[in-house]
Structure 1
Amino acid sequence: MIEKVLKYVRDQQLIAAGDRIAVAVSGGADSVALLRLLLDLRQELGIVLSVAHFNHRIRGVEADQDEQFVKSLAQQFEMDFRLGSADVPANAQEKKLSLETAARELRHAWFASLLRERFADKMATAHTEDDQAETVLMRVIRGTGTRGLAGIAPWQKNKGLIRPLLSVTRPEIEDYLKRLGQSWREDQSNQDLRHFRNRIRHELLPVLQRDYNPAIRVTLADLAEVARAEEEYWDKEIAALATRLVRSGKPSRSGRTNRQEASSAANSPTLALDLSAFHVLPLALQRRILRFMGEQFGVTLEFKHIQELLLFARHKKPGKGLNLPAGLVAGSSYRELYFGTQPEEKEAQLTYKYALPIPGEIMVPELGSMFRAHLVSAGSPDSGYNSALLDPALLAPEVTVRNWQAGDRFFPAHTRSPKKVKELLQPGRLGQELSPVQRRVWPVVESAGEIVWLRGFPVPQAFAVKSGQAVLIEEITTGSGA
């Protein structure tokens, strides 16, 4: 199996010599096998390995035992270890997400924070051929297009995620670990048939394999590979086509942008689509262009939204608007279909600013969160996605929690110079896609006029704790918010 994984890594160009790779290890068979395989291959590949474990706080004592198991594994092989955690059930309830979806979002956000801190160059996760088959089948049942059929990508470059095990199966993995005499942890929730993926795994796929196609898992994984290659080709074609059909700036009645409107568009970003050129395109390209338009605002448009937009574009109604997910709005002139975010007066309602004493706590209803500041020992856990550890000697007695504003700059640790907050919140930087509203209300903590923390980013080196006491500022989810 080592040769099989090595070939896949090289064929997909997942790893380059000198890469620092953090292996995401849950403690289960797949992730433990990934760690052992990369340990066997690290000299040949010329890589540096570390271990990252995320505790989802779903399974109580068992989750803590998983954490200790992975930590011991890292110590056994003398590897750097990093621990992250979040209250997934609370997050799922607040956002009305499934536990699986909430866990994935929080886990990936934490992965992104590790990469920003330069703990590693890439994160390796242990998705297998079985995971690929399950994912494709789940998407077919729920409804999907060709992009959904592409399943799990071997390498998500924008997120720094690689998946070296997509060519191997679970039986191969368990056989490999047994030959090594390597133990692993069993997650009993993987047997819970209330979860959709588990029903696919334990009920539907075995029936399909037994009664319809013994090679169904390979067939579905091959379908994903074909669809992925198709999508990569079309993504490039659509990007090239968009350079001719799409431009910035809200249209005038003539369909052209004047200077005043272009200035307004700079403050409220708008993209305009040339309708005369759009209408002569084949339907397949029209749908892809409309999906592309949504993606420029970090919004994934579903099939029903695309159909609504096609109808809206066909029956031009200048002055009328179409509300889309995540605060995206479409409008039209006689010549163009344009896309933008919520009007500025609505965004103004999302502006907030609260004083946070040290120690003390405040509610931020715009986020559905409570911010708490208290003194802890300097040996406390490092700053995380929703927390910051700061030197009390460098802070004012009271800090400010507010949403970021145009012109704000922040100097995250491990970077060479201050960055515009606007740039730090661009799509892909946080390991998740933000809606316009989520992006608008993203919080910063300010002390004496200087931003000392931006949620999801490491604190500036200048405010890092040296010794003694520290101020821990935590954001705790309490209810609904943006």
Structure 2
Amino acid sequence: MEELMKRVLQTAGEHRLWQPGDTVIVALSGGPDSTALLHVLYRIAAEQRLTLVAAHVNHGFRVEESEVEAQLVQRYCEQLGVPCEIARLNVPAYMEETKLNAQLAARELRYAYLEQVAQRYNASRIALGHHADDQAETVLMRLIRGTGTGGLAGIMIKRQEKNVELIRPLLRINKSDILSYCQEHELPYSTDSSNLQRYYFRNVVRLDILPFLENYNPQLTESLNRLSELAGADDDFMEQQTADLFGRLVRQVPGGFRVQRGALLKLHVALQRRLIKLILNYLALEMESASFDRVESVRYAAMDDKNTIWRTDLGDGIRFIREYDTLQWLNGQPLSGGDYEYPIVKETQRVVVAEAGVEFIVDFINPDHEAAGAKPHHLTEVWFDPDEIRFPLIIRNRRPGDRMAVLGLNGTKKVQDMFVDDKVPATQRELMPILCDAEGRLLWIPGIRRSSYALPRSAGAAVLRVRKITRAE
């Protein structure tokens, strides 16, 4: 068996690029890479129990040249006896509609078409002709533009895309070996004239930058491919670690996610960055939203020991908010749900305050009650002299100018000041429940303070008990 085929089979087995019985769509441009790919897969199809379908895309750029390529592809597939699907797409019109550049617009339409063909044939794989030289160019382009270790991984040898898997059986094969294979087997292929135009950055890298650098390292392509292998394995491991941390440390809140500052800062800086990036990607669904500058702005805000309140616009509709030791990433509308009020009459036993995610249990404790003589837990419950309470009570969020006659203090204190003193995050202040009486007097802010009004007369006396219970998120 020829060396190139051995290497393809070795790669396929190592990465499980296909399974016996699979239908594989081969993206056939008509160039030497995809032509060789189809030929190799055709030769091993019977042994590997593969069903092949070729798919060719005419992008509508090089009108006459593209038609010649389509005819060449059609004849080649007929010669092999492989079904061939051909699409003629109007990429220039799509560019005008979406404002994308030529390469991105062509890529979007091409992949969409390949997925349609895969669905039509119930195919589980789409085979692409990327090779080792493409990988070297990609890694070098990302180095020049700036990238992290994930970017150094370059092109993935397989990747799930919707309901199909994109596979690249030639990714470890050099271009020169592919051309030799085509020559040896007299395979018909075309040469895309646009590959010589330096308008595209990739072409500049291929035609000018790589050849220049190879003067200093003749094995540069191999070195860049080795770097992508190492970086890819490291990146995969780190992604697994980050996904595990996300499940353990990140909590979902309305409109976004929350992390405790201490939990983030305990992580190694590499995991801090990846966790922040993962949160941003979940919110924006675009890798561009997790740029290095955006990630670092969040890290610096979390590390700052002097400024405990941060609000940063990260773009794409994402806001980062640090309030003391709580970090939040929010997408869309603020958490506040507006004003709310819930009345409590003497017969009320339970009140659910959905806006604050809590509920209140109201009951009377007589002197013979098992809880009589105990002391309330000031964070979650409060006791009143029932004879001094004016019904109906009201549970509401704060209003401008709210003040309370705080137990143990002379005079009154602003609710706003109490929130600041107790480090209540600003995003939660508008939702915090406050218990008032029928005359508007503030009786209790759960977890913060109670008023000096309607204190129980003595230990063991009858009391009105109000308890706060946090509802499950």
Query: Does the pair score TM above 0.5?
Result: yes
Q: What is the SS of the residue equivalent to 2:70? A: helix
Name which of 288, 299, 303 aligns with 2:286.
299
Q: What is the SS of the residue equivalent to 1:157? A: strand
Deviation at 1:336, TM superposition (A): 2.6
Tell me what 1:81 maps to. 84
Superposition pairs for residues 129-278 of structure 1, below 5 Å? Answer: 129-159=132-162, 160-209=165-214, 211-249=215-253, 265=254, 269-278=255-264
Which deviates more, 314-323 or 37-46? 314-323
Amino acid at match of 1:276: G
Deviation at 1:317, TM superposition (A): 6.2
Q: 2:139–2:224: 8 Å Cα contact kept in structure 1?
A: yes
Change (3 A) 1:74 1:98: same
Cα displacement string for residues 185-243 of structure 1 (whole angstroms, at most 9, x for unaligned residues):
1100000012111111111111222x211111011001000000001101110011111
Name which of 105, 110, 117 aligns with 1:107.
110
| RMSD, aligned α-carbons | 2.1
Cα displacement string for residues 278-335 of structure 1 (whole angstroms, at most 9, x for unaligned residues):
122222111111111122131221111112222333456658342323x333333333
Q: 2:320 matched to 1:333?
A: no
Deviation at 1:244, TM superposition (A): 1.6
Q: Report the structure number with the largest CA radius of gyration.
A: 2
Change (3 A) 1:123 1:214: same
Q: Distance in 1 between matches of 2:87 and 2:328?
A: 41
Q: Distance in 2 between matches of 1:45 and 1:182?
A: 22
Q: 1:23–1:52: 8 Å Cα contact kept in structure 2?
A: yes
Q: 2:301–2:310: 8 Å Cα contact kept in structure 1?
A: no
Amino acid at match of 1:24: A
Tell me what 1:53 maps to. 56
Cα displacement string for residues 90-110 of structure 1 (whole angstroms, at most 9, x for unaligned residues):
434554443222222222233
Cα displacement string for residues 331-354 of structure 1 (whole angstroms, at most 9, x for unaligned residues):
333333222333399xxxxxxxxx
Q: Distance in 2 between matches of 1:191 and 1:152?
A: 22
Q: Distance in 2 between matches of 1:274 and 1:91?
A: 45
Name which of 270, 292, 300 aligns with 1:284.
270
Amino-acid identity (%): 34
Tell me what 1:35 maps to. 38
Deviation at 1:117, TM superposition (A): 4.2
Change (3 A) 1:118 1:237: farther
Q: What is the SS of the residue equivalent to 2:25? A: strand
Amino acid at match of 1:147: G
Superposition pairs for residues 372-383 of structure 1, below 5 Å? Answer: none
Q: Distance in 2 between matches of 1:293 and 1:195?
A: 33
Q: Which runs of 5+ in 1 are unaligned?
A: 250-264, 346-482
Q: Distance in 1 between matches of 2:62 and 2:308?
A: 53
Amino acid at match of 2:73: V
- Counting matched residue pairs gives 325
Tell me what 1:13 maps to. 16
Name which of 316, 320, 325 aligns with 2:311.
320
How does the TM-score come out when normalised to structure 2? 0.65
Q: What is the SS of the residue equivalent to 1:23? A: strand
How does the TM-score come out when normalised to structure 1? 0.64
Tell me what 1:417 maps to. none
Change (3 A) 1:344 1:151: same
Q: Distance in 2 between matches of 1:280 and 1:150?
A: 27
Superposition pairs for residues 120-135 of structure 1, below 5 Å? Answer: 120-135=123-138
Change (3 A) 1:317 1:102: farther
Q: What is the SS of the residue equivalent to 2:26? A: strand
Q: 2:72 matched to 1:72?
A: no
Q: Distance in 2 between matches of 1:68 and 1:207?
A: 37
Q: What is the SS of the residue equivalent to 1:54? A: strand
Q: Which runs of 5+ in 2 are unaligned?
A: 336-473
